[in-house]
Amino acid sequence: MIDKGLDDLAAGQITPECLVVSLAAPRLRREGVPLPQACIPDAEPRLYRLLEQVHGELAHARYLAHLRQAASFADACHLARTDGGRHAR
């Protein structure tokens, strides 16, 4: 998801993945993920509205799942960085 988000961000496409990268940008930078300086503003509400168009009633569940996935990715990056990559997959 993060890889696709980075690709979409570079290509100037607004997708759920690049909105996730944008809303999580400070944390991803903290964990050493290289991001462009300018990410998409107001990414949280834009992500929710985009998911709502596709998933309707399930948008909130999908939105929360995206946030959890981004946090989990950042946690994994942190472990990989601080543990010499022994836990990285």
Chain residues in the site for another protein (CB under 8 A): 22-27, 30, 43-45, 48, 52, 59-60, 63-64, 67, 70-72, 74-75, 78-79, 82
Q: Which residue type sits at 26?
A: P
Cα 59 to Cα 55: distance, rounded to the nearest angstrom: 5
Distance in Å, CB of 30 to another protein, minimum: 6
Distance in Å, CB of 10 to another protein, minimum: 19
Cα 46 to Cα 87: distance, rounded to the nearest angstrom: 33
Distance in Å, CB of 72 to another protein, minimum: 7
**Alpha carbon 51 to its chain's center:** 14
